[in-house]
Each structure stands twice: as structure tokens, then as C-alpha cells.
């Protein structure tokens, strides 16, 4: 497919990208992730900055620089999140909006509207949960059946259950912005957990090294 630059051209590469995403504290509603490659190298972190009236998460690159800011829009019926470039939350810096497809869903489905899609009559991307129990999902281009990325929630072992880590493996197709996909997986996890009633608790993120070995 044609190159799909959403966040930045540097996050689009000719081959597929495999991401290992780890979130601490399984009982938490939303919060902190570490995102790495198959060799255990950290690529991004997602952090929840302090306290405030709005739910907000920041995607940082490996150097700690903000790539995206994800903020839930208050007083909406469809769990609408707005995603901005860098550390901004100004409307002029909004890149895309993510929201539930409908208020009542058997499996979580999200619609993504890019910043210039003001009418929101047709989504630019959509995320569809494929298995409620396994919490896997697929990202499609628009209303088509063209797959741009797939996420699989890794089943718990005794070790992961005791450690309190929740992990996902994500495959991003060639020339697709993998920072964009990472943000969609984070938001899918947040909204899916809200819908399933598992979103209770607080985050206390600890170690980035847990990314290593996820694909072994």
C-alpha cells in the first residue's frame, strides 16, 4: 500500500514492524506502557502526567521527547480521544480523533478520523476487536478490508500474572506509521478495559527491561 504518514515520516519504514507493548498493573484503567522492538530495544514509552481534570497520556520516543499527546474529551458519549502532535493540546496541533463506533458494542470497535476530516462522515481508519476473550484487534484502512496492523494480547503465564504485567504483540504493515499504530493500540486497550469493567486501580510503572524476551 502507499506510504501512510500520520505522525512523522521517520516512523514509516519499507518492511513490517513488530512491536512489543507492555503495560504495568493489569487492574489499571489507563496509564503507562513501554513499547519496544523484537530485540528488546525501547522505542517508545507512554506516561500519564500527574493529576488533572482530564485523562491524558503522552507517547515519548526513546530519548524522552514527546511524540504524541492523547487526551480524552470530556462529556462525550463515545469515549472520544483527541491526539495531538508532540506535547501540545492545541486544536491547531490535533492530528486525529479516536472514538467508539457505537455506544453499545459486543466487541470493541473504534473509528479514527484524521484532523482534516471535519465532517467525520467516513472514518479514515477503524480498529476492530476480533475476540473479546483474547482482546485481539485489527486496524483497517477506512471502511475497507485492507489490514494495516494487527494486535494480539499475549496470554498470561504464571510469571506474568505474578509480575502484574500485561503485554501485546503488534505487527505493523510496511510503510504504515508505527507511532500512529502504537497510539491506537494504547487507546484500544483503554477503551476496551473501560467497556469490560476492568478499569479500576492506579498505575505505578517501574521497569522498561520487561520488553525483552516477549517475542521469544
pLDDT higher than threshold 70 for residue 34: yes
Total number of domains in the chain? 1
Tell me if 94 is assigned to some domain: yes
Model confidence pLDDT, tens digit, residues 164-191? 567 889 999 999 999 999 999 999 988 8
pLDDT at 74: 75
CA distance 84 to 18: 24
pLDDT at 185: 92
pLDDT at 201: 32
Q: φ and ψ at 145, to 5 degrees?
A: -100, 15
Whole domain around residue 121: which residue ranges? 16-199
Tell me if 75 is assigned to some domain: yes
Tell me if 134 is assigned to some domain: yes
pLDDT higher than threshold 50 for residue 213: no
How much of the chain exceeds pLDDT 90, in percent? 50
How much of the chain exceeds pLDDT 70, in percent? 72
pLDDT higher than threshold 60 for residue 197: no
Tell me if 215 is assigned to some domain: no
Tell me if 9 is assigned to some domain: no
pLDDT at 45: 93
pLDDT at 177: 97
Model confidence pLDDT, tens digit, residues 98-132? 998 876 667 789 999 999 898 899 999 999 987 66
CATH code (residue 116):
2.40.160.200
Tell me if 41 is assigned to some domain: yes
Amino acid at each position: 500500500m502507499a506510504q501512510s504518514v500520520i505522525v512523522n515520516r521517520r516512523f514509516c519504514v519499507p518492511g513490517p514492524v513488530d512491536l512489543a507493548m507492555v503495560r504495568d498493573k493489569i487492574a489499571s484503567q489507563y496509564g503507562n506502557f513501554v513499547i519496544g522492538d523484537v530485540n528488546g530495544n525501547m522505542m517508545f514509552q507512554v506516561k500519564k502526567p500527574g493529576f488533572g481534570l482530564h485523562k491524558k497520556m503522552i507517547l515519548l520516543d526513546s530519548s524522552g521527547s514527546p511524540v504524541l499527546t492523547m487526551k480524552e474529551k470530556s462529556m462525550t458519549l463515545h469515549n472520544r480521544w483527541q491526539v495531538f502532535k508532540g506535547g501540545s493540546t492545541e486544536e491547531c496541533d490535533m492530528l486525529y480523533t479516536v472514538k467508539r463506533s457505537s455506544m453499545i458494542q459486543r466487541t470493541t470497535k473504534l473509528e479514527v478520523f484524521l484532523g482534516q476530516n471535519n465532517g467525520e462522515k467516513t472514518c479514515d481508519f477503524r480498529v476492530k476487536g476480533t475476540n473479546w476473550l483474547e482482546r485481539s484487534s485489527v486496524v483497517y484502512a477506512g471502511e475497507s478490508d485492507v489490514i494495516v496492523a494487527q494486535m494480539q494480547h499475549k496470554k498470561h503465564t504464571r510469571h506474568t500474572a505474578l509480575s502484574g504485567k500485561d503485554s501485546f504483540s503488534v505487527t505493523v504493515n510496511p510503510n504504515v506509521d508505527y507511532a500512529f499504530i502504537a497510539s491506537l493500540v494504547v487507546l484500544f486497550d483503554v477503551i476496551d478495559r473501560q467497556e469490560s469493567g476492568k478499569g479500576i486501580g492506579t498505575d505505578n510503572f517501574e521497569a522498561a527491561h520487561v520488553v525483552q524476551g516477549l517475542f521469544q
